[in-house]
Amino acid sequence: MSIPEFIHNFSWILILLVTVMGLTTNQIQQVIISLYTDRALYIVMVGSNLLLMVHTVAMSPVLVILKFLLGLATLGVIELLFARKQRAGSIKINQIQLLSVLAALTMLVGLVIDLTVG
């Protein structure tokens, strides 16, 4: 595993952990801290993703573009869930399921890219 891959995977893990912590708390201050921590981690994750894309897009452009779009969709859903949490104070279970499915699909496509490209 290369350094950009490690940074990318580690930042995804941190994003998911911080998101879970932020969405499960009832203290608005903790929600805001989690939101801003996620946003800082987005920059690291997207930057490392761009580095990885440069090396893999020639070998499987469709999968790389699909993973990039799924990752952006996942980040969008995280932002929407945090906005709903701040406004309404609660989140519906189907919204959590959507986030889980998007994150799992993104990880699955990333794994397929890693196994095909090497």
More confident residue, 1 or 78: 78
Residue 36 has pLDDT above 90, yes or no: yes
- The structure tokens listed for 86 are 């701040």
67-95 confidence digits (pLDDT tens): 999 999 999 999 999 999 998 878 888 88
Both structure tokens of 15: 């994003």
Q: What is the mean pLDDT of residues 90-113?
A: 90
Cβ neighbours of residue 89 closer than 8 Å, sequence gap 6 or more? 26
Residue located via tokens 């290369």: 2
Query: pTM of the entire structure?
Result: 0.88
Is residue 71 a contact partner of residue 104, using CB atoms and an 8 Å limit?
no
Q: Quote the pLDDT of residue 57.
A: 83
